[in-house]
Structure 1
Amino acid sequence: MKNEYRRCFITVGTTRFDLLVDTLMTAPVLNSLKKMGCKMITFQIGNSNFQPGIYDKEGIQINVFRFKDSILEDIKSADLVISHAGAGSCLETLEAGKPLLVVVNEELMDNHQLELAEQLQVDGHLYYCTCATLETTLEMLDFNMLKPFPKPNQTMFLKYLDTALQVKAKSS
């Protein structure tokens, strides 16, 4: 049985990513989401020119807002998350165990976001695409193929900290 992604959360983060906002509001992309079972989208648009509000497009209810203190509840209540490639958004989504499609902003200089998205895809934790390939990517995705993101190993950090403090104490 194929998964249905009835509730989709989309975030562009705290900056401006108008190309993603515009691309996601097109009929072809919305129809691709509808084919996946999407009935409702919660859409965090940041500083985009698009106007916040409630829309009904292609049979999908779209609740658009700019910012809120935390998007964690939106992530947790979603069946699918589509996000810009910001480290915070990616890690929060992966730690919540949600299927994630990252859309890379190709207009960024020194694109560290692309490096992060590529590595997380290579590791099997998410898929990534660009705005130009979003529609076709949505048509071919199988989120069942992704691996869960590993839980943080706090003992590794504590061992590192112990070692670093011992080295510093010896050199004093």
Structure 2
Amino acid sequence: MAFSNVFVTVGTTKFDKLIDIITSQEALKILKKKNCKKLTLQIGQGKTPKIENDYGLNIEVFRIKESIENEILNASLIIGHAGAGTCLQSLQAGKKLLVVINEDLMNNHQLELADRLFDEGYIHVAYYSDIIAILNSDFNYLQLKPFPAGNTYNYIKFINKMMGFEF
């Protein structure tokens, strides 16, 4: 599967391990092989990556913007943390999402959300050790279900139900 425009987002926090893996020579080579032309990295409060771009990719790096809607809408693949905002915004836009679990978080509520969205068939989930293998595979996003459309109240109700907070 080809991904011409890949957007990686870590939200407003730090997730340097994800950025480091995606900007590794191995990952960049795979992305180039998958016809990636543009790689956009939203690094939040993390360190600015030192990128050796030997593959001619157009790479953009930024910390935080008022809105990442354009990046999401233009992406053919989104790789991100399991923050509720990232997940909902990406799924509402009908985008394919690979969620990478930040294993360094204590009491990881993001893991609960990612597990539920994965179990429901809306996203793919990876751990640090899986990212290169997943990128290098012919993983099939056609198997993912479209996220239900609706208003904000319905999304909140849906998330509450998924998380077991149904009232």
TM-score range, shorter chain: 0.7 to 0.9
Cα distance in structure 2, aligned partners of 1:156 and 1:115: 19
Unaligned regions of 5+ residues in structure 2, if any? 156-167
Cα distance in structure 1, aligned partners of 2:109 and 2:154: 25
Cα distance in structure 2, aligned partners of 1:95 and 1:154: 10
Cα distance in structure 2, aligned partners of 1:98 and 1:55: 28
Given the alignment, which residue of 10, 15, 18 partners 1:17? 15
Cα distance in structure 1, aligned partners of 2:135 and 2:111: 18
| Equivalent pair of 2:4/2:76 in contact (CA under 8 Å) | yes
SS in 2 for 1:117: helix
1:72 aligns with 2:44: no
Q: In the alignment, what sits opposite 2:162?
A: none
Distance 1:154 1:99, change over 3 A: closer
The alpha-carbon deviation at position 27 of structure 1 amounts to: 1.2
Distance 1:155 1:118, change over 3 A: closer
Distance 1:156 1:70, change over 3 A: closer
Q: In the alignment, what sits opposite 2:142?
A: 144
Q: In the alignment, what sits opposite 1:4?
A: 2
Cα distance in structure 1, aligned partners of 2:42 and 2:84: 16
Identity %: 44
| More contact order relative to length (CA 8 Å, sep ≥ 6) | 2
Q: In the alignment, what sits opposite 1:43?
A: 41
Residues 128-167 of structure 1 mapped to structure 2, 5 A cutoff: 128-140=125-137, 141-152=139-150
Q: Kindly name which structure, 1 or 2, has the bigger radius of gyration based on alpha carbons.
A: 1
1:119-149 CA distance string (max 9 Å, x none):
1111111101012210011223211111100
1:95 aligns with 2:102: no
TM-score, with length taken from structure 1: 0.82
The alpha-carbon deviation at position 153 of structure 1 amounts to: 6.1
Unaligned regions of 5+ residues in structure 1, if any? 158-172
The alpha-carbon deviation at position 51 of structure 1 amounts to: 5.2
Q: In the alignment, what sits opposite 2:79?
A: 82
| Equivalent pair of 2:19/2:49 in contact (CA under 8 Å) | no
How many residues are matched? 154
1:5-54 CA distance string (max 9 Å, x none):
101111010001111111111011122222322111111011111159x9
Cα distance in structure 2, aligned partners of 1:131 and 1:117: 14
The one-letter amino acid of 1:117's match is A
The one-letter amino acid of 1:64's match is V
CA RMSD of aligned residues (A): 2.1
